Amino acid sequence: MTSTLHDKTEMSSFLSGKFHHVDVDRIEKELLELWLQAENASESDEPAVTRACSITFILFTADANAEVDAGFLLEDITLKHPCRAILAMAIPAEQEHLEAWVTARCRMIPGKSAKQICCEQITVRWEGPGTRNLASVVSPLQLVDLPTWLWCQHKRPSKELLGPFFPFMERLVVDTAEFDDRLTYMFDLKDAYLRLKDGGALYDLNWRRLLPWRQTIAHAFEETNGLLELEDLDLVSSIVIGVSERTDAPPRGQSAQGLLLASWLASRLGWTFDSAKRNEDNDVDLKFKWSRKKINVSLKAVPLDTVAPGTVCFFAADFVGKEKSLVVMQKEGCPGLVAALMKRSEVHETLCMAEKTQSQLVVDVLDSPLTAELYKELLDIVCELCGALK
């Protein structure tokens, strides 16, 4: 009886989201035993458990205090996409130490019968040099015949950190918004992209944030409902991209998101890179060439504390022979972006759409994991720009 009560308590604790410390060599066995206890629970007051899993999702971090924040992120993701979630922590240290914990992520299914869908989270914490030992523990934990995703939350996706994961990683998720202070990390990202195994894909949350901007700009040139003609794209003479900066910080205009938007325009319109520099106001001035014409693209700092620094919050394009600019921004009270033809002097303030959290963006990627060959082309352009700005 005592053993039965202990098993029930342990199983209930596991299903409630509490972590169980396990031997690293017994992770799979411990999970199997806990799931068997949950499935065999015969008490009427215990809701039925359905174990679900569609992918292996690894969240990789070097933050020693990441357990709480990472737990919330993984909870958001597993709520929509049940998976085997692995929090892989690589903490630089002189003394080597390895620990592991397991728990379940469950949600009740709406309806009369008490049923819950559950998946599992495994936390592996490695303290020591490099990540090879961590990867050797994580690799056998992949679920057979299901894709393996890795979300790199380290600010620098270097080959030294991610290299041991490349042999089994199929989908890599990053956020280049973290690169604003070190744009040269774009070169590490490009190298990581090239090292992904055949068929692998890269997803940048910062690129996903730009989707409303890309759609609004493109719609402005639609044949039926657009503000301009498609042929007007050949008349673009200059572009200003406003990027948010803190009001208590010096302006710099340096933004990975801004560079991605500029690179997207260059890629789609066939522009070739000419030069890049920072001007007296620390804004970034880019020059592109198309045929015999030069196009100026300026990344201008906009003091704005309501959104994260580096966020695109304003877009304006001038055209040869036209008095008004194409302006894309958010007006107060408008839930999305609007495009209009107006003079720059008519624009009095800029606002930005409500930002999505990182976990919401990851869920968006998992909802629609379409690979974008375009992004590789953009990485080449962005690296060229970053190289000129060093």
> 161 and 250 share a domain?
no
Give the separation between CA 374 and CA 207, rounded to whole angstroms. 11
Residues 194-197: contacts with CB within 8 Å, 24+ apart?
A: 195/159, 195/162, 195/163, 195/166, 196/166, 196/169, 196/170, 196/172, 197/166, 197/167, 197/169, 197/170
Instruction: Tell me the mean pLDDT in the region 163-192.
Output: 93
> 29 and 129 share a domain?
yes
> 163 and 227 share a domain?
no
> 164 and 255 share a domain?
no
**181 in a structural domain:** no
Last residue of a domain, one of 139, 169, 199: 169
> 239 and 377 share a domain?
yes
**198 in a structural domain:** no
Short-list 140, 138, 134, 152, CA closest to 96: 134
Range of the domain at 305: 209-389
> 143 and 222 share a domain?
no
Q: What is the predicted pLDDT for the residue at 4? A: 44
Which residues, in sequence order, are CB contacts of 153 under 8 Å at separation 6+?
Answer: 59, 60, 61, 63, 66, 70, 175
> 163 and 252 share a domain?
no
Angle at which helix 27-39 crosses helix 2-15, to 10 degrees, equals 100
pLDDT digits (tens, 9 = 90+) for 10-27: 677 777 778 889 999 999
Last residue of a domain, one of 169, 195, 229: 169
pLDDT digits (tens, 9 = 90+) for 195-229: 988 888 999 999 999 999 999 999 999 988 889 99
Q: pTM (2 decimals)?
A: 0.90
Number of domains present in the structure of the chain: 2
> 118 and 233 share a domain?
no
Worst-scoring range by mean pLDDT, 30-34, 111-115, 120-124?
Answer: 111-115
What CATH number did the domain enclosing 336 receive? 3.30.360
pLDDT digits (tens, 9 = 90+) for 248-271: 877 777 899 999 999 999 999 999
**189 in a structural domain:** no
> 139 and 226 share a domain?
no
Q: What is the predicted pLDDT for the residue at 253? A: 75
**185 in a structural domain:** no
* Spatial contact of 24 and 98, defined as CB atoms under 8 Å apart: yes
Centroid of chain to Cα 215: 19
Confidence of residue 2 (pLDDT cuts 50, 70, 90): very low
Short-list 82, 81, 145, CA closest to 119: 82
Instruction: Quote the mean pLDDT of the chain.
Output: 88
Last residue of a domain, one of 169, 189, 223: 169
Instruction: Tell me the mean pLDDT in the region 131-150.
Output: 94
Instruction: Tell me the mean pLDDT in the region 351-374.
Output: 86
**294 in a structural domain:** yes
Short-list 93, 147, 103, 94, CA closest to 124: 103
**299 in a structural domain:** yes
pLDDT digits (tens, 9 = 90+) for 62-93: 998 888 888 889 889 988 899 999 999 999 99
**202 in a structural domain:** no
Confidence of residue 111 (pLDDT cuts 50, 70, 90): low
**Which DSSP letter does residue 151 get?**
E
Instruction: Tell me the mean pLDDT in the region 330-340.
Output: 84
> 75 and 7 share a domain?
yes
